[in-house]
Amino acid sequence: MAELVLKDLVIKYGKVTALNRLNLTIKDGELVTLLGPSGCGKTTTLRSVSGFLPVQEGDIFLNGKRITDIAPENRGIGLVFQNYALWPHMTVFKNLAFGLELRKLPAEEIKKRVAAVLASVKMDEYADRFPRQLSGGQQQRIALARAIILEPDILLLDEPLSNLDALLREQMRFEIAAIHNRLGITTMYVTHDQTEAMVISNRIVVMRNGKVMQEGKPEDIYMRPRNKFVAGFMGTTCFLEGIVERFDGERCILKTNDGFELYGIGTELQIGHKAYAAVRPEYILLGKRAEASYGSSERNCFKAIVDRSNFTGELLDYQLKLGSNFIRAKEYEAKTIYGIGQTVDVKIDEERLPIVHDTDPEAVAV
Amino acid sequence: MKRILKKSAELALLVTVFLIVIGPMVSLFLWSVAQKWYWPHPLPQAITFDYWAQALGLKTSLAIGAVSIVSAFTLSILIALATVVIAMAIAIPAGYALAKYKIPFGTIILFLFLLPNAFPQQPVFVNILQVFTKIGLSGTIPGVMLIHILVGLVYGVWITNATFRSIPPSMEEAARSVGATAFKAFYKISLPLAAPGLFSSAVFVFLTSLDEFTGTFFIGLPFINTLPLTLYSSSGYNMQFASVIALILLVPSVIFMLLIQKVLKAEYVGGMG
């Protein structure tokens, strides 16, 4: 069992509060991603767990043991850095063997374990290379191997894929997820890339200003964001501002500033208060497709004017003018291409239209 | 046409650089073997290796006014070596600490090492002479060494500091994460990575000590006679002998410069890029 618990962590850099009473639990074997823009405190959190950043208030527990004041080398952590941090003066073998040698394991055992871990990251043939002879992706695999070879209680990854190109990044996401599934190491993963977080995580923690804004399964965070910040951070979101008019069963009805009535999903809202509809481009039906679904209900059906359209190959990406606001719409397998200035029917999927309030009251910086 | 022009410009530049670097050395060598060299002859009229022989202690004849410089050379080398050891023993921890930790007034401390070189040297050394005379350090080898360390530390600390600064903190952090103590991480990771920079810095300290004149002149004379001082005292009346010393002084510099180039080309430096 390796459970990580952060309790009321406070870290300040001078007058700036980087972590503001942060509470977080990562269960045994779970892969949790800390997601947020730069300066949100995600890297600070990771560095406090690794032991390189002293904690000013609060505590860190690993397996129920308080590790807040323990030196980094005695915490049983595995670390993967954005810049790989392989030691350039050592071969791949030496890089991997370093930790084992410090533990004074017999040479035979070291050889066996290095070979095994190299196989697990599919780098068997590279033991005698120097890091500079490897590509970025290969270096990151070795860095990952070095972090797991000692079978740490917890694996910490700090934006490990940010330096890789897009294609490789996508491939490495799946590999990291696969290695995590196979080894079941409790893992904290830090990134600012929401897609990466969606693909890789058991659970996502969205952070801002040193506070947790929302935590939950990737699909929950995406489908049911708690506030405008989370909704805006996940996916391509356009906001329509309005006032919460009423509730109808599970639906929340928002009256926008242009007078449209929008049906959506939303909790933690009060009638008469300001709120925002988070319109996602992939949940909008256009033209005939919108008409075809009129039968079921005419709710959330509007007329919009095409302001811009981009054909990206796999899809058509529109910017539409709805009242005085702009929204984006993405259409796959488009049969009709609408021209600029044309009026089109739109229907926004009400089950996938989160209505959120502006700021999480809890998250207001103290 | 354009290409010919470019080529000839390149050639001219090459020749100029060659003359600037090699020219003075050729002249020095010619002087060191000139027995008779009067204007307007472009080359010495008579050649002798007596000055070299006497300087190296192979021959003794009072007729040409040259003396053996073996003892001065040995003293200079010994002082330089000791200076390197002591200065680097100070510079490595200081440079490392200033690079890695947030030390209050760190920048000011770094500039303090620059101070002895930032002011005109004569007034500084005259003052030091007064202090050293009071405590009995003037005219002694430790006194001269202290001066050399003072002057050399700026290279020691600044280059060492820059070297350690260029190593990403994640290098040591990665070592800590796999179980290395702070000292082991320094010793096994940072130190080998910094080695080329530390070596260059040590060479600079060595060469600074070997060539140091002003401080040694004030503090050391008349008891401590290093090679640059011997060069100075003979250059007034004996151009041949002075040339011999100047050429001998060049030898360690050239050797070390070649060594630095070799070390800086070493395999793993490329990986730091």
Helix B141-165 vs helix B106-118: crossing angle, to nearest 10 = 130
| Count of structural domains within chain A | 2
- A364 is a domain residue: no
Are A65 and A198 in a shared domain?
A: yes
Are A107 and A244 in a shared domain?
A: no
pLDDT band per the 50, 70, 90 thresholds, residue B256 = confident
Higher pLDDT, A298 or B218: B218
Residues of B in contact with A89 (CB under 8 A): 192-193, 268, 271
* Closest Cβ opposite residue B268 in set A85, A89, A102: A89
The domain that contains A110 carries what CATH number? 3.40.50.300
B125-152 per-position pLDDT tens digit = 999 999 999 999 989 999 999 999 999 9
pLDDT at B236 over 80: no
Residues of B in contact with A83 (CB under 8 A): 168, 170
Q: What is the 3-class SS of B43-108, one letter each residue? A: CCCEECCHHHHHHCCCCCCHHHCCCCCHHHHHHHHHHHHHHHHHHHHHHHHHHHHHHHCCCCCHHH
Higher pLDDT, B61 or A127: A127
- The stretches in chain A having pLDDT less than 70 are 1, 293-296, 359-366
* CB contact (8 A) between residue B176 and residue A85: no
Residue B195 CA to residue B182 CA, distance in Å, equals: 18
10 Å Cβ neighbour count for A128?
10
ipTM reported for the complex, 2 dp:
0.84
Q: What was the pLDDT predicted at B242?
A: 86
Q: What was the pLDDT predicted at A1?
A: 58
User: Minimal Cα distance from A156: which residue of B?
Assistant: B177
User: Minimal Cα distance from B173: which residue of A?
Assistant: A52
Model-level pTM greater than 0.90? no
pLDDT at B271 over 70: no
Residues of A in contact with B176 (CB under 8 A): 51-52, 71-73
Q: What was the pLDDT predicted at A269?
A: 86
- A365 is a domain residue: no
Q: Which residues are CB-contacts of A281 (< 8 A; sequence separation ≥ 6)?
A: A236, A238, A317, A318, A327, A328, A329, A330
- A155 is a domain residue: yes
Residues of A in contact with B177 (CB under 8 A): 50, 72-73, 77-79, 147
Interface test with B, best of A74, A86, A87 (most B CBs within 10 A): A87
| Phi–psi pair at A278, nearest 5 degrees | -95, 95
Q: How many residues does chain B have?
A: 273
Closest CA to A334 of A348, A349, A320, A314: A314
User: Minimal Cα distance from A80: which residue of B?
Assistant: B174
* CB contact (8 A) between residue B180 and residue A102: yes
pLDDT at B225 over 90: no
* CB contact (8 A) between residue A85 and residue B188: no
Residues of A in contact with B273 (CB under 8 A): 132
3-state helix, strand, coil in chain A (%, to 5): 30, 35, 35
Residues of B in contact with A94 (CB under 8 A): none
- The pairing of strands A16-26 and A4-13 is antiparallel
The CA distance from B164 to the nearest CA of chain A, in Å, is: 14
Are A219 and A336 in a shared domain?
A: no
Are A42 and A189 in a shared domain?
A: yes
Domains detected in chain B: 2-48 (no CATH), 70-272 (1.10.3720.10)
Answer for the pair A360, A226: CB distance below 8 angstroms, yes or no: yes
Which domain range does residue A71 map to? 4-223
- A230 is a domain residue: no
Residues of A in contact with B189 (CB under 8 A): 87
Residue B189 CA to residue A142 CA, distance in Å, equals: 17
Residues of B in contact with A130 (CB under 8 A): 267-268, 271
- What is A48-61 written as a DSSP string? HHHTSS--SEEEEE
Q: How many CA atoms lie within 13 A of A232 on its CB side?
A: 15
Are A219 and A247 in a shared domain?
A: no
- Which one of A223, A255, A272 terminates a domain? A223
Are A214 and A248 in a shared domain?
A: no
Work out the burial of residue B159: count CB atoms within 10 Å of its CB; fewer than 13 is exposed, 13-18 middle, 19 or more buried: buried
Q: What was the pLDDT predicted at A364?
A: 40
* CB contact (8 A) between residue B177 and residue A50: yes
Are A211 and A266 in a shared domain?
A: no
Q: How many CA atoms lie within 13 A of B38 on its CB side?
A: 1
A interface with B, Cβ–Cβ < 8 A, is 50-52, 71-74, 77-79, 81, 83, 85-89, 98-99, 102-103, 130-132, 143, 146-147, 149-150
Residues of A in contact with B184 (CB under 8 A): 102
- A363 is a domain residue: no
B154-193 per-position pLDDT tens digit = 889 999 999 999 999 999 999 999 999 999 999 999 999 9
- Which one of A223, A254, A279 terminates a domain? A223
Are A200 and A283 in a shared domain?
A: no
Helix B239-264 vs helix B2-32: crossing angle, to nearest 10 = 130
Are A68 and A207 in a shared domain?
A: yes
Are A192 and A287 in a shared domain?
A: no
The domain that contains A349 carries what CATH number? 2.40.50.100
Residues of B in contact with A153 (CB under 8 A): none
Answer for the pair A132, A87: CB distance below 8 angstroms, yes or no: no
Q: What was the pLDDT predicted at B266?
A: 53
Tell me the count of A-B CB pairs closer than 8 A. 75
Residue A277 CA to residue A255 CA, distance in Å, equals: 10
Q: What was the pLDDT predicted at A84?
A: 93
* Closest Cβ opposite residue B177 in set A77, A130, A132: A77
Closest CA to A51 of B185, B164, B95, B96: B185
Closest CA to A175 of A238, A121, A213: A121
Q: Which residues are CB-contacts of A80 (< 8 A; sequence separation ≥ 6)?
A: A140, A143, A144, A147, A155, A156, A157, A158, A160
User: Minimal Cα distance from A83: which residue of B?
Assistant: B170
Are A241 and A219 in a shared domain?
A: no
- A362 is a domain residue: no
* CB contact (8 A) between residue B188 and residue A98: yes
* CB contact (8 A) between residue A102 and residue B192: no
- A308 is a domain residue: yes
Are A186 and A250 in a shared domain?
A: no
Interface test with B, best of A98, A117, A138, A162 (most B CBs within 10 A): A98
